[in-house]
Structures are given as C-alpha cells and as structure tokens.
C-alpha cells in the first residue's frame, strides 16, 4: 500500500508540474480544497485496499501583470500572448482507472462521462420539444366556406349554364354576334388551347380558357345594363359606319366613366334593340343583354309599339280607313292595331296620327302612311309594350331602366 501511495504521489507531482498547477490563477478556498479531497477519495474507493487520501496544496497566486503601453503591446509577438494565457489557465486533474485497473492522472474528463453528458442533453432537448408540441394546439384545418351540397345547389339553380361561344364573345364586348362568328370561322378563337371553328360550342368563361386574337377573354363578364334613349334625328342604330353618326356615340360619357364606377369589370358592348331609321325619333332601347334584345324584337313577343306621325297636308276619314286596312310590307300583309287622328293643338299646325302596330317590320309605319297617299313630316315612337318614353327625357339623353320598367316591357329577369 505504501508503494502505491508513493507511485500516485510521484505521478501527481509530475502532472502538476507539467500542467503548471503549482501556480494557479485563482486561489482555492478551504471549501474547494475539501471538495477536491472528497472527489479523489471517491475515485479511489473502488480499490481493493483502504481508500487513500491526497493532501494537494497549491502555490500562492501569480501576481497580476501591469498593463503595458499601446506601443509596447503592438510590438509583442502573438506567441508570447498565448503562452501567458496558458500560464494563467487553471487545469483540473482527473484520476481515473484504466482498462487494467490502474489509477492514472489525465487533464481531460473520461470518455464515458462525456458520452453520458451528451446523451443527457439530447434527452432533455427531445423532452422539451415534445412538451412544446403538446402545449401548442394543432392548427385546425380550414373548413370550406360552403358545403358540397350547398355548392351543388348553387351550380344547379343560380349559376349560369354554359353558353354558345359566339354569344359569350358578344357578351364580353369582343364584337357583335355576327362578327364573333366570323372570328370563330377564321380560326382566331381558341378554347382551352385548341382552335374552335364552331360558334355553337358550349363554353363557360369562368372555367374555360378562351383567347381571341391572342388576348385572354376575362373570366368576369360585364353586368347586364338596360337603357331607354330618346333618339334624335340624324342618328343611325348600327355601329361601325363612320360616315354617319351612331346612337351609341351618345353613350361615350357613360363608357368613359365605366372603369371609375365599376373597377375590375370589363366594359359592356352596347347595341340597340330593334332599329329606328335615321329620320325617326323617340324611344329606343339600348342594352348588352342578347337574350333580352332577342325577346323584345322577336315577332312572337307581340309587343305593341306606338308612333306619332306628323303629316304634311290634310288628313280625312278615307286616309284613316286606308291605313287601318293595312298593306304588304316585305311580302307580308301588315295591318295596324289602332289608327287615330289626334285633336289639333294651337302650337302645332300639322295634323298628327296615332298608329299602334305589333309586327315591327322595317319601315312598316311609313309604308302604311305612304299607301294611304300621305307624306310624313316627322315620325316619333313613344311607347314599347307597357313602357312609355318619359316626358322629361331630353332629346339625345338616356335613362337606366329599373326592374319595373323591364317588367313593363315583358321581360322577366
């Protein structure tokens, strides 16, 4: 046992001298000294003989160096600074038992201790992550805004069904329906990447990708608009003829302010419902709803149209009878519903005839009056169906129709 103690003491003194432990940077207190003796005693407790104790003492602390001027510190070599730092560093010896059961001194902790500390830190991090994951509630999945049944009900009852391609192009303001058909026949329209040459193809602008001349058709179609225009004399109802004025030019202010009033929506393509010749004035319906225009202009609607014809010359009973008997217009026998001579007015020198028709053929009223041997000075339409031209609507002005006005025209939207 004495030989073992002597060997350990010699090894310890050698290690302390090698690791500069004879001049520690900081003094050890009595408590630290007692704790170090306990550690060494516990490390040697596994030995078969009686536990030895080491009485390890240290030299007094190294005196602190005075700070050097900046000029001197700049000239020092970096190797000298690192050496002084090593002298001031305190090393703690580790007395461990090797594989052969012998006690050895080393300056680093045993490998098994380092592994145990690393495993303990890893387990702590895993537990912390598990606690955090349990503490944070799982984000609920975003519920659909509407159920499948609700969406199906909407699609079946409220969503617009697929429409003909030419009709969709006309509603989007690309061109008239006839010109849209010419674009389709010319191969300038593609649907979902394929050229479409059939105007009757059913498409849905929301789901289908439609291109016209390389430009994408907007998914949102413009809203339906309905106007009543007091048409002035000298304007035609068709668009595209530059030599004469068109009634659509009276809506330039409305179209120019469209983007400001309806941001994000494409401009509607307006057209007239039926026609009035260039010399006829009065009530004219303007819209972008093709179904509405087709309904009003079709003969099956049997909407009555009332005109006031101002006549040059005198009008007698024979003229009224001849007009009421009718005449042939475009190969069809047409007769008016009502023919009436209006009472004279002090401010009007010419006689006026009230004529109500329902055929709506081209120049029908003018042909009826001409067949009676009379000459028309002025012709004005004042009523279509149950809607009458507002008396306060100035010439060349328009007013937007309300639902009650549309119902008066026989339209159920």
Radius of gyration of the chain (CA): 52
pLDDT for position 241: 53
pLDDT for position 97: 77
pLDDT, one tens digit per residue, over 258-283 is 989 888 888 888 889 888 999 999 99
pLDDT for position 21: 46
Residue linked to tokens 């809506």: 251
Domains in the chain and their CATH numbers?
Answer: 161-214 (3.10.290.10), 224-295+393-407 (3.30.70.580), 303-383 (3.30.70.1560)
Give the H or E element holding residue 16: helix 2-18
Distance CA 40, CA 147 (A): 75
CA 157-196-166 angle, 5° bins = 55
Distance CA 20, CA 24 (A): 7
pLDDT, one tens digit per residue, over 151-167 is 777 766 666 678 889 88
Distance CA 278, CA 85 (A): 108
Q: Quote the tokens at residue 391.
A: 């008396």
pLDDT for position 361: 81
Residues involved in catalysis: 277
- Sign of the Cα pseudo-torsion (43, 46, 47, 53, in order): positive
pLDDT, one tens digit per residue, over 63-80 is 666 655 555 544 444 444
Query: Rounded to the nearest 5°, which phi and psi values hold at 213?
Result: 55, 35
**Please, what is the average pLDDT of the chain?**
77
pLDDT for position 365: 93
Q: Is the separation of the CB atoms in 274 and 285 below 8 Å?
A: yes
Distance CA 203, CA 200 (A): 9
Q: Is the separation of the CB atoms in 346 and 267 below 8 Å?
A: no
Q: Quote the tokens at residue 184.
A: 């389709």
Q: Is the separation of the CB atoms in 387 and 411 below 8 Å?
A: no
Q: Residues of the chain whose pLDDT is less than 70? A: 1-92, 124-144, 155-160, 240-244, 413
181 SS3 class: helix
């Amino acid at each position: 046992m004495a030989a073992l103690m002597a060997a350990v003491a010699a090894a310890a003194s050698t290690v302390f001298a090698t690791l500069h432990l004879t001049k520690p940077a900081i003094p050890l207190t009595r408590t630290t000294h007692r704790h170090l003796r306990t550690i060494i005693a516990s490390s040697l407790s596994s030995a078969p003989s009686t536990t030895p104790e080491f009485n390890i003492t240290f030299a007094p602390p190294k005196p602190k160096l005075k700070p050097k001027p900046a000029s001197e510190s700049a000239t020092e070599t970096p190797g000298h600074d690192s050496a002084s730092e090593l002298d001031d560093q305190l090393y703690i010896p580790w007395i461990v038992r090797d594989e052969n059961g012998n006690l050895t001194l080393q300056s680093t902790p045993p490998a098994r201790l380092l592994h145990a500390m690393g495993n303990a830190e890893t387990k702590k991090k895993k537990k912390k992550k598990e606690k955090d994951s349990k503490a944070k509630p799982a984000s609920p999945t975003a519920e659909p805004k509407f159920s499948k049944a609700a969406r199906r009900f909407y699609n079946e009852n409220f969503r617009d069904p697929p429409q003909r391609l030419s009709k969709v192009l006309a509603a989007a303001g690309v061109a008239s329906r006839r010109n849209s058909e010419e674009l389709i026949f010319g191969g300038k329209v593609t649907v979902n990447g394929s050229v479409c040459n059939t105007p009757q193809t059913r498409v849905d602008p929301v789901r289908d990708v439609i291109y016209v001349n390389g430009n994408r058709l907007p998914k949102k179609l413009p809203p339906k608009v309905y106007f009543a225009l007091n048409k002035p004399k000298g304007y035609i109802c068709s668009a595209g003829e530059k030599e004469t004025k068109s009634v659509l030019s009276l809506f330039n202010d409305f179209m120019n302010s469209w983007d400001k009033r309806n941001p994000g929506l494409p401009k509607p393509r307006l057209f007239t419902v039926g026609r009035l010749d260039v010399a006829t004035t009065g009530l004219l319906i303007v819209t972008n709803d093709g179904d509405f225009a087709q309904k009003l202009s079709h003969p099956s609607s049997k909407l009555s149209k009332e005109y006031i014809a101002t006549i040059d010359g005198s009008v007698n009973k024979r003229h009224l009878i001849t007009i009421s008997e009718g005449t042939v217009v475009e190969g069809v026998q047409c007769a008016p519903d009502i023919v009436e001579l209006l009472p004279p007015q002090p401010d009007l020198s010419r006689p006026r005839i009230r004529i109500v028709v329902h055929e709506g053929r081209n120049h029908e009223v003018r042909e009826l009056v001409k067949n009676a041997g009379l000459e028309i000075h002025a012709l004005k339409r004042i009523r279509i169906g149950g809607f009458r031209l507002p008396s306060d609507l100035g010439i060349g002005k328009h007013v937007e129709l309300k639902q009650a006005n549309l119902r008066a025209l026989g339209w159920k939207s």
